[in-house]
Chains A and B, each alone.
Chain A
């Protein structure tokens, strides 16, 4: 028994800011102080508050040290762990109050969250199966195998109202029912989509890194429900930590007899195999993902037949995303009513969002469905930094759209987001402020889809490229109002005629910015002006003569020789020579140069 547990976040966000070094230093320093038998150091998954990494939490008191630097460690160990005095100056500022510390779950970031899919992330050591079992892990699988029929399981998932968390929102129980009943008996497969391709979404990665056994348990439950004995996890190769932890977890589950033959002595066999993606966004589409597992170019196939009838290796297959699976054991343990009591009428439970972009608390948050965007951005997210104004939140990544400030109070659920012209998507939520140009953002997403279009069908392959070119023309001030009409027409054409979800949703970023920010498009086209000051071709660099001290630094650094002036006199930029590289702004010590 240890008297204290020190949890160090080992998620990708924190390891990127140096948490592995912190972990090693803590162990070293604790040993040096002779505390190795009393204090244990554990590497956990993500706590969610990635903006404040590396994160170290000391239990039992749950002291939350944020942005921990190596030089803090000796003090934290000698003061806190040895003498029991919290080192307040390194503690997360929102937990600091006059008397003692505020509990973490009462801080603004955590107060309105409800963690189901992420319940173990940041709490247990993901590389130790016993810690998972200690939090009722594999109990749901045991219950399913010993007390429930496959139909009971499917009914429970149906009644819970759980819908696919990968973006589409198809009822999970319905999917399982189809896979069980469309084809009776024979070889079937369970698959997991862990190819989280939406740039800016990382909730699945967090579950894989922080609670891999939850996924394994859920897939075994799905296997039992539909009658499959083999599962495949298709995971992004860009997530090396997740791949490692999954491999460890699968190995441990086999060792404990929770995967393999005759699980819990019930005669049920189930095993899992990991397949690595290789960087293709289209492989998030279910038929493309299965084609890729089969070892081919990840091109989608027309549906029907749906995978529930003819999927992986032409056998009936259930494919769910990581977050969907992460909910399953909890639903089995706590009952369908418990899950259905959270959320809105048609969207039950919680949803994890990856908050990113221009927001103070970047990180992962899990909120009940129906929470308003305002709550997420202002209360949980801590608002926009640097006193800037909120402009829009982008959800659904390259398939989604943006939600402008006027819809700040809409409850977030599947149907409301679709009505607003966006979509839930996998849960990326990128906040943009007044400095982001919406035309540029639309162009950014189209560049992405052009890159990622697999090329199989013409509307997507050629259409997205044409869309991109039109947007490029707009950002360069070369478009006419007629082009805006053509742009919209082409969007609908691509939506209606593409083979798979990638093409059908690719125009959404354009349509939604046209819907809410048409004035910005018009400013680019008619006034040849970028209101946010982003589109380079429409900007000119100017020196403010009142601020310029005539230090000559900008003139020396300018690669185009576009700046002239005499020492100690205000300089001027010759806009005909200026290449708009921005070197002058970077070098000016007086803030005298700006883009207009």
Chain B
């Protein structure tokens, strides 16, 4: 874990206050740890150990449990994401139409592997499992933009839009 977390935690007072009020609101509901983690990730963009510790302390549950849940689900990230989050759909419908090649091409172009972020913090690359836009396969998303009916050859042009 230490090897990858090169970006120091930079949480602000406002974010902390926001998180504390979320916890205060939800902590007494049954099974509220997941909703709290989801809100925390909305606030901070990821779930560094500092945020997990805060949640554990405020809710009065062991950090080990918080960490266990945070690492179980693929939507929770312990590392910061890039300014532009690229997510390539590797669901079956996209895969049979060549999204594997697209994913590989992006790794080549960005010089990073899946799950990583470019050193300048601009792009992060992930694979996802079906966003349900199978009619447009193969599909990728960059933040909230959806790109469909792609080929590996289109990748340079898609990235260029974010330069």
> Do A and B share a complex?
yes
Q: Which residues from chain A sit less than 8 Å from chain B, CB to CB?
A: 12-13, 15-17, 49-53, 196-202, 205, 237-239, 275-281, 292-298, 313, 354, 356-358, 362-363, 394, 397, 428, 430, 432, 436, 441, 444-445, 448, 454, 581-582, 586
A239 touches B132 (CB 8 A): yes
Q: Is B58 an interface residue (CB 8 A)?
A: no
Contact flags B28-69 to A (C-beta < 8 A → 1, else 0): 001111110110000000000000000000000000010011
Bound complex: CA A232 to CA B34 (Å): 14
The interface size of chain B toward A, counting residues with CB under 8 Å, comes to 41
Contacts of A448 in B (CB 8 A): 129
Q: For A276, give its contact among B34, B96, B101, B139 (CB under 8 Å).
A: B34
Q: For B129, give its contact among A51, A197, A239, A430 (CB under 8 Å).
A: A197
Number of interchain pairs (Cβ within 8 Å)? 141
B128 touches A358 (CB 8 A): no
Bound complex: CA A442 to CA B89 (Å): 18
Bound complex: CA A75 to CA B97 (Å): 34
Identity of the chain A residue whose Cβ is nearest the Cβ of B151 in the assembled complex: A586
Identity of the chain B residue whose Cβ is nearest the Cβ of A203 in the assembled complex: B132
Q: For A280, give its contact among B72, B96, B152 (CB under 8 Å).
A: B72
A436 touches B69 (CB 8 A): no
A357 touches B34 (CB 8 A): no
B133 touches A16 (CB 8 A): yes
Stretch of B8-16, B17-25, B73-81, B116-124 with 4 or more beta carbons under 8 angstroms from chain A = B73-81
Bound complex: CA A444 to CA B130 (Å): 14
Q: Is B158 an interface residue (CB 8 A)?
A: no
Contacts of A53 in B (CB 8 A): 135-136
Give the shortest distance, in Å, between A315 (CB) and chain B (any CB).
11
B72 touches A356 (CB 8 A): no
- Of residues A275, A278, A297, A586, which shows the largest number of chain B Cβ atoms within 10 Å of its Cβ? A278
B132 touches A205 (CB 8 A): yes
Q: For A430, give its contact among B32, B96, B131, B135 (CB under 8 Å).
A: B96
Bound complex: CA A391 to CA B96 (Å): 12
Bound complex: CA A37 to CA B71 (Å): 53
- Given the interface contacts A199-B92, A280-B74, does A16 sit within 8 Å of B34 by beta carbon? no
Identity of the chain B residue whose Cβ is nearest the Cβ of A559 in the assembled complex: B108
Identity of the chain B residue whose Cβ is nearest the Cβ of A586 in the assembled complex: B153
Give the shortest distance, in Å, between B76 (CB) and chain A (any CB).
6
B136 touches A50 (CB 8 A): yes
A295 touches B73 (CB 8 A): no
Q: For B73, give its contact among A278, A432, A444 (CB under 8 Å).
A: A278
User: Which 10 pairs of residues, A with B, have the shortest CB-CB distance?
Assistant: A50-B135, A356-B93, A199-B91, A278-B73, A295-B31, A200-B92, A202-B132, A279-B74, A199-B130, A16-B146
Bound complex: CA A15 to CA B92 (Å): 21
- Given the interface contacts A295-B31, A362-B93, A428-B92, does A278 sit within 8 Å of B76 by beta carbon? yes
Bound complex: CA A445 to CA B96 (Å): 11
B148 touches A17 (CB 8 A): yes
Q: Is B134 an interface residue (CB 8 A)?
A: yes
B95 touches A444 (CB 8 A): yes
Contacts of B90 in A (CB 8 A): 199
A237 touches B137 (CB 8 A): no
Identity of the chain B residue whose Cβ is nearest the Cβ of A398 in the assembled complex: B92
Identity of the chain A residue whose Cβ is nearest the Cβ of B134 in the assembled complex: A356
B74 touches A397 (CB 8 A): no
Give the shortest distance, in Å, between B73 (CB) and chain A (any CB).
3
Bound complex: CA A281 to CA B91 (Å): 12
B152 touches A586 (CB 8 A): yes
13 contacts between A and B (CB under 8 A): A13-B132, A17-B135, A17-B148, A198-B130, A200-B92, A200-B93, A278-B37, A279-B74, A295-B33, A357-B97, A362-B137, A394-B92, A586-B152
